[in-house]
Amino acid sequence: MNHAVVIGAGPAGLMAAEVMAAAGLKVTLCEAKPSVGRKFLMAGKSGLNLTKDEALDPFTEAFAEATGPLASIIRAFDSDAVKAWAQGLEQEVFTGSTGRVFPVAMKASPLLRAWMGRLAETGVEVHTRWAWQGWRDGALIFSTPEGEQTLAADVTVLALGGASWSRLGATGEWADILKRQGVEIAPFAAANAGVSVKWSSHMSKHFGAALKGVAWHAGPYTSRGEATLSARGLEGGGIYSVSRGVREGHPLTLDLFPDLTVPDITARLSKPRGKASLSNHLRKTLNLSPAQIALVQEMARPLPDGLRATARLLKALPIKHAGLRPMDEAISTAGGIPFDALDDTLMLRDLPGVFAAGEMLDWEAPTGGYLISACLATGRWAGLHAVEWLRKAG
Tens digits of per-residue pLDDT, 236-245?
A: 999 999 999 9
Residues 154 and 7 in one domain: yes
Q: Looking at the structure, do residues 246 and 290 belong to the same domain, yes or no? A: yes
The answer to whether residues 42 and 141 belong to one domain is yes
* Three-state SS at 248: coil
Same domain, 123 and 82: yes
Is the omega angle on the peptide bond into residue 58 within 30 degrees of 0, that is, cis?
no
Q: Which amino acid would we find at residue 291? A: A
Measured distance CA(162)–CA(333) in Å, rounded? 6
d(Cα 295, Cα 230) in Å, to the nearest integer? 12
Report which DSSP code applies to 328: G
Classify residue 289 as exposed, middle or buried by CB count within 10 Å of its CB (0-12, 13-18, 19+).
Answer: middle
Q: How far apart are the C-alpha atoms of 33 and 370, rounded to whole Å? A: 25
What is the pLDDT at residue 24?
A: 96
Does 19 map to a domain?
yes
What is the domain-level CATH number for residue 137? 3.50.50.60
Residues 75 and 178 in one domain: yes
Whether residue 326 lies inside any domain: the answer is no
Number of domains in the chain: 2
User: How many CB atoms within 10 Å of residue 283?
Assistant: 16
Q: What's the pLDDT at 343? A: 98
Same domain? 98 vs 180: yes
pLDDT in tens, the chain (394 residues): 899 999 999 999 999 999 999 999 999 999 999 999 999 998 877 789 999 999 999 999 999 999 999 999 999 999 999 999 999 999 999 999 889 999 999 989 999 999 999 999 999 999 999 999 999 999 999 999 999 999 999 999 999 999 998 999 999 999 999 999 999 999 999 999 999 999 999 999 999 999 999 999 999 999 998 999 999 999 999 999 999 999 999 999 999 999 999 999 999 999 988 877 878 888 889 999 999 999 999 999 888 888 999 999 999 999 999 999 999 999 999 999 999 999 999 999 999 999 999 999 999 988 889 999 999 999 999 999 999 999 998 7
Out of 318, 345, 377, pick the residue that ends a domain: 318
Count of CB atoms within 10 A of residue 236's CB?
Answer: 20
Is residue 323 a part of any domain in this protein?
A: no
CB proximity list for 184: less than 8 A, separation 6 or greater = 337, 338, 340, 341
* Domain edge (last residue) among 318, 351, 371: 318
Q: 41-62, pLDDT tens digit by residue? A: 988 777 899 999 999 999 999 9
Pick the last residue of a domain from 284, 318, 352: 318
Q: Are residues 228 and 213 in the same domain?
A: yes
What is the DSSP code string of 127-170? Answer: EES-EEEEEETTEEEEEETTEEEEE--SEEEE----SS-GGGT-
Tell me the CA distances in angstroms from 333 to 41, 66, 196, 356, one per residue in order: 18, 14, 17, 16
In a domain, 324, yes or no: no
pLDDT given at position 393: 87
* Claim to verify: residue 380 and residue 263 sit in the same structural domain: no
User: Is residue 215 in some structural domain?
Assistant: yes
Does residue 325 form part of some domain? no
Residues 203 and 183 in one domain: no
Edge-to-edge, what's the strand order for the sheet holding 195-196?
Answer: 195-196, 233-235, 227-230, 210-211
Same domain, 235 and 343: no
Q: Are residues 168 and 300 located together in one domain of the fold?
A: no
User: In this structure, is the dihedral angle defined by the CA atoms of residues 68, 72, 75 and 79, taken in order, positive or negative?
Assistant: negative
Q: Note down the domain range covering 212.
A: 195-318
Q: Does residue 9 sit in the same domain as residue 136?
A: yes
Give residue-wise pLDDT tens across range 277-324.
878 888 889 999 999 999 999 999 888 888 999 999 999 999 999 999
The CA-atom distances, in angstroms, between 371 and each of 160, 289, 347, 360 are 15, 32, 20, 12
Considering the entire predicted model, what is its pTM? 0.93
